[in-house]
Amino acid sequence: MPYELYYWDGLQGRGEFIRLALEEAGAAYIDITRESGPGRGTSAMMRMLKDAGDLHTPFAPPFLKDGELLVSHVANILFYLGPKLGLAPEDEGLRYAANGLQLTITDFVCEVHDTHHPIATELYYEDQKEAAKARSISFIDHRIPKYLGYFERTLSNNPAGDKHSVGNRLSYVDLSLFQVIEGLRYAFPRATQLFARQYPLLVALHDRVQERPNIARYLASSRRIPFNESGIFRHYPELDRDAV
Amino acid sequence: MPYELYYWDGLQGRGEFIRLALEEAGAAYIDITRESGPGRGTSAMMRMLKDAGDLHTPFAPPFLKDGELLVSHVANILFYLGPKLGLAPEDEGLRYAANGLQLTITDFVCEVHDTHHPIATELYYEDQKEAAKARSISFIDHRIPKYLGYFERTLSNNPAGDKHSVGNRLSYVDLSLFQVIEGLRYAFPRATQLFARQYPLLVALHDRVQERPNIARYLASSRRIPFNESGIFRHYPELDRDAV
């Protein structure tokens, strides 16, 4: 039975971290809101968000249905899927390390979102633009270096080698780091200009992920929604600036 | 060997969600930064944050050391500890439901933090007070009802009964919800005034947790750091207002 992924139609958003893992593994899945028919489409997702019946109703998308199990939140879904897709470390202790890294990515993604929505999720960007500019300055000057510096060190300190963030083979964390670099480059082309020099291991990881056959095929397909200004990573030139 | 909890000294913060689980279970643990001696104190934590050696260096506190395993991030630590402390559902599927709920609490706690720091973590509150006021209005009018309404429905829809958020016995999620109610009441006494009427199941859960012998003893002890304006839940009267 294919996995059922529930996420907002028309944007990569948080759902993309799940899509990349499913695509890399060549797993069968249905991107529910992007299809039509019974049990498909955005209306099907909204019904589940209102009441998932015997399953635990999730707070928000993305969530994944695997038979009778419903798992919500990116890190939780990847923790669940990782071993099934061969994208988690074999060692159980390292799986907690992977989850810790993924939750660090979660925190960072939340900060990316708040660059354009620092005051209120329910207000338009245009109504919080001044605060967004102030937050973006802090984000570019302080938060990108803090987080990406950490992930760069994680690669460099990995006892199993600097090609992977955890363990000695590709994991969902590596795929998520690809997406982070990709998204930051889309949203902040100026701030990310020197990434290859500042974060060489991360950028090398990004490039290797991009060239993996299943990922390359996916990125070239219509299943990969282009970045846009409905997602997490939005390109508003007025929020971008050169890195210090 | 006792668990080693690493978290900032002098505040409840995110560490408190871990402390409550350890205390309820009567588990032996060392609150590293609150003790002195070799391998104790804030300096010991800072060394680990710089380089945890063979272990995966965490991004930020809290993190937990259990022998040779180092686990970071509240939800990850609780996912790891839950079964060991008897504070997770027996059923494996429900453990993912518990983790999803805990991650929803994580998101909410991040939004609580951002009421007083909407622009930049590295700036003082006083330097972002106007944005904080705007964000707090949105938080009180929209985000508290959205999140607490969700948790109230989670209790009411739990097939195993409305006394617990997941499964038929106390879990770390219930303990965390106690802390959320407690913290909101401290930070926003006006906005939370009608909680008992608005969220009766949540408040009843809060009250039951508070009366559990181990929790009551802990809350009365010096190990429970009082709420203060260094933590997540801060009482700034100018950010508080009556709920709509």
User: DSSP alpha helices (H): ranges in chain B?
Assistant: 15-25, 42-50, 74-85, 92-116, 129-138, 144-157, 172-187, 195-198, 200-211, 213-220
Residues in B touching A80 (Cβ below 8 Å): 96
Size of interface A-B (CB pairs under 8 A): 129
Q: How far is B39 from chain A (nearest CA, A)?
A: 22
Residues B41-69: b if buried by 16+ CB within 10 A, e if exposed? bbebbeebeeebeebbbbbebbbbbbeee
**Residues A214/A26, Cβ–Cβ less than 8 Å:** yes
Q: What single string gives the DSSP state of each residue in B73-114?
A: SHHHHHHHHHHHHT-S-SSHHHHHHHHHHHHHHHHHHHHHHH
Interatomic CA distance for residues A58 and A36, integer angstroms: 22
User: DSSP alpha helices (H): ranges in chain A?
Assistant: 15-25, 41-50, 74-85, 92-116, 129-138, 144-157, 172-187, 195-198, 200-211, 213-220
The H or E element containing residue B203 is: helix B200-211
A183/B contact by beta carbon, under 8 A: no
Largest CA distance in chain B: 52
pLDDT value, residue A146? 97
User: In this complex, do B150 and A59 lie within 8 Å of one another by their Cβ atoms?
Assistant: yes
B3-6 and B29-31: which strand pairing? parallel
User: In this complex, do B131 and A118 lie within 8 Å of one another by their Cβ atoms?
Assistant: yes
Residues in B touching A122 (Cβ below 8 Å): 138, 142
% chain B with pLDDT above 70: 100
pLDDT value, residue A194? 97
pLDDT value, residue A54? 78
Is residue A62 reached through a cis peptide bond, with omega within 30 degrees of 0 on the bond before it?
yes
Interface test with B, best of A103, A144, A158 (most B CBs within 10 A): A103
The amino acid sitting at A174 is D
Residue A139 half-sphere exposure toward CB, CA atoms < 13 A: 28
Residue B60 half-sphere exposure toward CB, CA atoms < 13 A: 12
User: In this complex, do B99 and A154 lie within 8 Å of one another by their Cβ atoms?
Assistant: no
Is residue A83 reached through a cis peptide bond, with omega within 30 degrees of 0 on the bond before it?
no
Which of B96, B135, B147 has its CB closest to that of A119?
B135
Q: How does the average pLDDT of chain A come out, rounded?
A: 96
**Residues B27/B78, Cβ–Cβ less than 8 Å:** no
Which of B103, B147, B153 has its CB closest to that of A76?
B103
pLDDT value, residue B54? 78
User: In this complex, do A54 and B159 lie within 8 Å of one another by their Cβ atoms?
Assistant: yes
Residue A38 is given by DSSP the state T
Q: What is the ipTM of this complex?
A: 0.96
Interatomic CA distance for residues B186 and A101, integer angstroms: 32
The amino acid sitting at B30 is I
Helix axis angle for A15-25 and A213-220, nearest 10°, is 130
Answer yes or no: same fold for B3-85 and B92-212+219-239: no
Give A66's strand partners: A69
Q: Residues 4-63, chain B: which have Cβ within 8 Å of A?
A: 51, 54, 56-60, 63
B123/A contact by beta carbon, under 8 A: yes
Coil, strand or helix: which one is A31? Answer: strand
Look at residue A244 and tell me whether its pLDDT is greater than 80: no
Just give the CATH number of B92-212+219-239. 1.20.1050.10
Tens of pLDDT, residues B100-131: 999 999 999 999 999 999 999 889 999 999 99
Interatomic CA distance for residues B212 and B20, integer angstroms: 11
Look at residue A131 and tell me whether its pLDDT is greater than 90: yes
Residues present in chain A in total: 244
On the 0-12 / 13-18 / 19+ scale of CB atoms within 10 A, B108 is buried
The amino acid sitting at A198 is Q
**Residues B165/B153, Cβ–Cβ less than 8 Å:** no
Which of A122, A131, A150 has its CB closest to that of B118?
A131
B150/A contact by beta carbon, under 8 A: yes
% chain B with pLDDT above 90: 95
Nearest partner of B181 among B193, B166, B170, B169, judged by Cα: B193
A168/B contact by beta carbon, under 8 A: no
On the 0-12 / 13-18 / 19+ scale of CB atoms within 10 A, B237 is exposed
Which of A59, A93, A166 has its CB closest to that of B104?
A59
Give the CA radius of gyration of chain A: 18
The H or E element containing residue A6 is: strand A3-6
Q: With the CA atoms of A145, A151, A152 and A156 taken in that order, what torsion angle do they form, in degrees rounded to the nearest 10?
A: 150
For residues A43-63, average pLDDT: 93
For residues B78-105, average pLDDT: 97
- The correct answer on CATH 3.40.30.10 for the domain covering B3-85 is yes
Which of B63, B110, B122 has its CB closest to that of A142?
B122
User: In this complex, do B58 and A99 lie within 8 Å of one another by their Cβ atoms?
Assistant: no
A70/B contact by beta carbon, under 8 A: yes
Interatomic CA distance for residues A61 and A46, integer angstroms: 10
Q: How far is A42 from chain B (nearest CA, A)?
A: 20
Delimit the domains of chain B by residue range. 3-85, 92-212+219-239
User: In this complex, do A131 and B119 lie within 8 Å of one another by their Cβ atoms?
Assistant: yes
Look at residue B244 and tell me whether its pLDDT is greater than 80: no
Which of A56, A100, A154 has its CB closest to that of B76?
A100
On the 0-12 / 13-18 / 19+ scale of CB atoms within 10 A, A159 is exposed
Residue B166 half-sphere exposure toward CB, CA atoms < 13 A: 29
User: In this complex, do A58 and B114 lie within 8 Å of one another by their Cβ atoms?
Assistant: no
For residues B34-55, average pLDDT: 93
Tens of pLDDT, residues B136-195: 999 999 999 999 999 999 999 999 999 999 999 999 999 999 999 999 999 999 999 999
User: In this complex, do B99 and A73 lie within 8 Å of one another by their Cβ atoms?
Assistant: yes
Pick the CATH number of A92-212+230-239 from 1.10.3720.10, 1.20.1050.10, 3.40.50.2300, 3.40.640.10: 1.20.1050.10
Which of A51, A56, A131 has its CB closest to that of B100?
A56
pLDDT value, residue A53? 83
Nearest partner of B111 among B130, B139, B82, B86, judged by Cα: B139
A124/B contact by beta carbon, under 8 A: no
User: In this complex, do A157 and B51 lie within 8 Å of one another by their Cβ atoms?
Assistant: yes
Interatomic CA distance for residues B129 and B117, integer angstroms: 8
The amino acid sitting at A35 is E
**Residues A131/A118, Cβ–Cβ less than 8 Å:** yes
The amino acid sitting at B40 is R
Q: Write phi, then psi, for A66 (nearest 5 degrees).
A: -125, 95
Interatomic CA distance for residues B148 and B155, integer angstroms: 11
Question: Residue A93: closest CA among chain B residues belongs to which residue?
Answer: B69
On the 0-12 / 13-18 / 19+ scale of CB atoms within 10 A, A110 is middle
**Residues sharing a CB contact under 8 Å with residue A94, sequence separation 6 or more, in sequence order:** A166, A167, B56
pLDDT value, residue B97? 97
